[in-house]
Amino acid sequence: MKKYGYIIIAVIILAVFISIGIMRKNEKLVDNGKLKIITSFYPMYIATLNIVYGINDVELTNLTKPTTGCLHDYQLSPEEMIKIESGDIFVVNGAGMESFMDNIVNTYPNLKLIYASKNIELIKDESGIDNAHVWVSISKHIEQIKNISDSLSIMDPKNGEKYTSNANKYILKLEEQLEKMKTALSSTTKKDIITFHEAFPYFAKEFGLNIISVIEREPGTEPSPKELADTIEVVKDSNVQVLFAEPQYSKSSADTISEETGAKVFMLDPIVTGDLTKNSYIDIMNKNLEVLQEALK
């Protein structure tokens, strides 16, 4: 009987510790410690950095390395899972970009989630699948900034005014950048382009460009000989003179097409890697503008 008594006491103690852990997890947003915000990858980090900048009781961390790129079929490491467990809020792009989200939701049901692409109208591909590269459009990215700011203000109301103020300042900069690029590109006569992978439909729509072909449907996956040959024929038939590769991936396929057609290869950045500074998104967009002006003149 004494043995069973000890077992009962042990079970009760374990239950108490579990309850305390759950309570502490739920109280993370209102305790006196720093609010720990984690972002899924580079564009989400830069967006959130501008929103939380200067707020001393907020700690911002990016989950993946700033050289990771898009999270297509990305597998989380044990270290990254531990990092998520330590967080209070997880900011993700959504729209299918973070393929690991089902696992995160099931593993950490108390983690607060912010989907930056919530309620944003998405472009679908030929198979009806949503294109997740929302941030590459400045106007769509502004909607993402608003979503993140509004959600943070609800989850952490004591800093709500600061989040809103920071977001509004950043949105003004983004709106100026958008107007600058629209004005600069409005006079370009060339509109047909070929891109490296499916990162630029929102960008192309924003600036009146027409993507007639995509070299690699999945980044990092070389096209088959037939797909490469088909793209070469498209380039020849359409008389497209520019191909846009991306700095994050090998441009060997683009170089092959260039050799066969005479089309020139330029680098267009989908803003998935870079330095971790506030203005990096705008800086990369300025570089993209320079590339487009050179390529489409």
Task: Please provide the DSSP assignment of 39-71 as one string.
Answer: ESSHHHHHHHHHHHTT-TTEEEEESS-TT----
Here the tokens at position 250 are 């090998």
Average pLDDT over residues 138-144: 98
pLDDT at position 235: 84
Q: Which of 62-66, 141-145, 219-223, 291-295 has the lowest mean pLDDT?
A: 219-223
Q: Which residue type, as a one-letter code, is found at position 275?
A: D
pLDDT at position 164: 98
pLDDT at position 168: 98
Closest CA to 218 of 120, 91, 73, 100: 73
> Are 157 and 282 found together in one domain?
no
Q: Which residue type, as a one-letter code, is found at position 107?
A: T
pLDDT tens sequence across 77-115? 899 999 999 999 999 999 999 988 888 988 998 899 999
> Are 151 and 124 found together in one domain?
yes
Domain membership of residue 11 (yes or no) is: no
> Are 203 and 117 found together in one domain?
no
For the cut 70, the answer to whether the pLDDT of residue 240 exceeds it is yes
What is the per-residue DSSP string for 120-132? ----B-TTSPBP-
Question: What is the maximum alpha-carbon separation in the chain?
Answer: 89
- Partner residues linked to 208 by β-bridges: none
> Are 278 and 196 found together in one domain?
yes
> Are 110 and 195 found together in one domain?
no
Domain boundary among 180, 201, 219: 180
CA-angle at 281, arms to 92 and 148, nearest 5°? 35
Q: What percent of the chain has pLDDT over 90?
A: 56
For the cut 90, the answer to whether the pLDDT of residue 116 exceeds it is yes
Average pLDDT over residues 135-155: 98
Structure confidence at residue 26 as a pLDDT band (50, 70, 90): very low
> Are 216 and 277 found together in one domain?
yes
> Are 44 and 176 found together in one domain?
yes
pLDDT tens sequence across 178-232? 999 999 999 888 899 989 888 999 999 999 999 988 886 665 567 788 888 888 8
For the cut 70, the answer to whether the pLDDT of residue 237 exceeds it is yes
Domain membership of residue 23 (yes or no) is: no
Return the SS3 of 28. Answer: coil
Average pLDDT over residues 20-31: 43
> Are 172 and 190 found together in one domain?
no
Domain boundary among 180, 210, 236: 180
Parent domain of 214:
186-296
Residue 59 vs residues 66, 244, 273, 278, 296: alpha-carbon distances, Å: 17, 37, 21, 15, 42
Closest CA to 42 of 274, 286, 279, 287: 274
CATH of the domain at 267: 3.40.50.1980
Domain membership of residue 9 (yes or no) is: no
Domain membership of residue 172 (yes or no) is: yes
For the cut 60, the answer to whether the pLDDT of residue 3 exceeds it is no
Q: Tell me the whole-structure pTM to 2 decimals.
A: 0.85
What is the number of other CB atoms lying within 10 angstroms of the CB of residue 28? 18
Q: Using CA of residue 177, residue 286, residue 69, residue 79, what is the dihedral sign?
A: negative
* Matching residue, tokens 């593993």: 107
Domain membership of residue 12 (yes or no) is: no
Domain tally, the chain: 2
Domain membership of residue 32 (yes or no) is: no
Domain boundary among 180, 210, 228: 180
Give the side-chain half-sphere CA count within 13 A for 35: 20
> Are 125 and 191 found together in one domain?
no
Q: Which span out of 165-174, 237-246, 251-260 was modeled with the highest average pLDDT?
A: 165-174
> Are 166 and 59 found together in one domain?
yes
Based on the number of CB atoms within 10 Å of its own CB, is 254 exposed (0-12), middle (13-18) or buried (19 or more)?
A: buried
> Are 44 and 145 found together in one domain?
yes
Domain membership of residue 3 (yes or no) is: no
Domain membership of residue 49 (yes or no) is: yes
> Are 160 and 197 found together in one domain?
no
